[in-house]
Amino acid sequence: MEEQVDVDVLVAGAGACGLIAAIKAHEQGCSVAIVEKFDRFAGNTVLSCGSIPAAGTRMQKAAGINDSVSQMIADMERVSGQHDSSHLIATIVNESARLVEWLVDYCGVEINLYTNYKHVGHSIPRLHTQPTGQGSELINSLAKTVQNKGIDLAFNNPLRRLRTQQDGTVIGAEIGTKDHYYVVNAKKIIIATNGFGANPSLVKQFCPELSGSQYFGAQSAQGEAIEWGQFLDAKLGNVGSYQAHASVAYPHGELLTWSITEKGAFFINRNGCRFGNENKGYSGFAKFVMEQGNEAFAIYDSNIRDYVCKYQPTYKNLVDMGGAKEYDDLEILCKEFNINASNLRQTLENYNLIALGQKSDQFGRKDFGLSPLKKPYVITRVNAALFHTQGGLMVDEKAHVLKTDNSIIRNLFAGGGAAVGFSGLQGGDGYVSGNGLLSATVLGMIAGENAALECKNESLRH
């Protein structure tokens, strides 16, 4: 006899998406269970910087920042162009302020608004984060809410297979391993298991240009949602898009925050030459670093280093670990890093003239932060890495998973990295800062609310 459990809503995955979906469904009166593959919170949310973009929040109003839904939509569309989930953007952005305020009011998440830095792709400061700038803080607050509300959360309980009726309606899931599993009969299932960044063969299939690059995200992102979806004839969207990062400090393995670049750093190869427009942002610039044999050097100065150290503790850690070396003499810098010194001298001279507006940039860079650069100079060696994939199960405005013919797979919802993202059709260029958690948090909220609403409506009908 199979062991069977009944719930209204089953959520797979205990990241931002799954926890928010579960809390929301519970808030609306449903019985909810969360199953998590790992023995702890082990998703990308924990590793993230916890930054969530939202337009028109009370935090922005208090800071005197005048933002609007239409401005945020325009920013996202400018960077990502038209893509498979363009139809979702208005809904997501419309709900973003409500989500952030609910996180504070209902889940006790502490939220600060970044006001001194707009982030890649945003024309207005709208990234809301936790005081430490670490997603683990977001997860801790959500986990506390789950516990306080008495929502069941089972670690070490992977969802392995969805169960359906003959007509394809989802009715439950098998939890555990092939040889040892139990069945959860659920009225609704929410897939919040993230993308496939940790699955080299799916990365090779869908994002070939990043195949073989370093992966900087969670090992739990194995792409099961794609496999379950394909079995149910689900439609996939934006499956070749991803967020990469151009500046992971080598050999420290710590992120060199893109604030350093926005404040004026430029990148060179070992030849001492620049090779692209750094204003493309950390994700879009990553492919240029890959083209240099996945090795580059960020060149900046002590002024920029000290400015960023003041408000980004994680960057200060990198500096303390020796990841930002200071030199008065360019010759010595080049000798130590085996960089062509005469080329770098010329690159620096040119760059400073461009930053002063006395020359135009062949790569099209327009923003130069605190440049021109002055002695002492600072260098960080970097490489590019894949952070997370941005494509997945196609969903509608209510987070229902869709089939290839655009009909709904009944009772199945998805959000976060498991679902289609908003970062363009292919590649890393379309990623706007915060698109990952925007999908995880807002689609998680929408999935939880709609799953609960359908449960309620269906029980009224019976």
CB of 158 to ligand FAD, least distance (A): 4
The angle subtended at Cα 68 by Cα 428 and Cα 240, nearest 5°, is 15
By CB under 6 A, residue 119 contacts ligand FAD: no
By CB under 6 A, residue 16 contacts ligand FAD: yes
DSSP β-bridge partners for residue 381: 297
Could you say which of 7, 9, 10, 14 contacts ligand FAD (CB under 6 A)? 14
Distance, CA of 45 to CA of 25 (rounded, Å): 20
| Two structure tokens written together for 379 | 């260098």
By CB under 6 A, residue 416 contacts ligand FAD: yes
CB of 327 to ligand FAD, least distance (A): 29
Using CB under 6 A, which residues numbered 384 to 413 contact ligand FAD? 387-388
Instruction: Give per-residue burial for 273-290: e unless 16+ CB within 10 Å, then b.
Output: bbbbbbbbbbbbbbbbbb
The angle subtended at Cα 175 by Cα 173 and Cα 180, nearest 5°, is 130
Strands 4-12 and 181-191: parallel
Could you say which of 218, 319, 399, 455 contacts ligand FAD (CB under 6 A)? 218
* Contact status, residue 130 vs residue 112, Cβ threshold 8 Å: yes
By CB under 6 A, residue 47 contacts ligand FAD: yes
Could you say which of 8, 10, 23, 48 contacts ligand FAD (CB under 6 A)? 48
Could you say which of 9, 10, 28, 50 contacts ligand FAD (CB under 6 A)? 50
Distance, CA of 329 to CA of 353 (rounded, Å): 20
* Contact status, residue 244 vs residue 386, Cβ threshold 8 Å: yes
By CB under 6 A, residue 11 contacts ligand FAD: no
Show the 3-state SS of 221-277.
CCCHHHHHHHHCCECEECCEEEEEEEEEECCCCCECCCHHHHCCCEEECCCCCCCCC
Distance, CA of 239 to CA of 145 (rounded, Å): 33
CB of 346 to ligand FAD, least distance (A): 35
Could you say which of 23, 33, 35, 378 contacts ligand FAD (CB under 6 A)? 35
Q: What Rg do the C-alpha atoms of the chain give, in angstroms?
A: 23
CB of 77 to ligand FAD, least distance (A): 18
By CB under 6 A, residue 130 contacts ligand FAD: no
By CB under 6 A, residue 56 contacts ligand FAD: no
CB of 290 to ligand FAD, least distance (A): 17
By CB under 6 A, residue 224 contacts ligand FAD: yes
Strands 236-237 and 266-268: unpaired
CB of 441 to ligand FAD, least distance (A): 8
Stretch that binds ligand FAD, among 22-30, 110-118, 210-218, 344-352 (CB under 6 A): 210-218
By CB under 6 A, residue 235 contacts ligand FAD: no
Using CB under 6 A, which residues numbered 131 to 170 contact ligand FAD? 135, 158-159
By CB under 6 A, residue 448 contacts ligand FAD: no
By CB under 6 A, residue 371 contacts ligand FAD: no
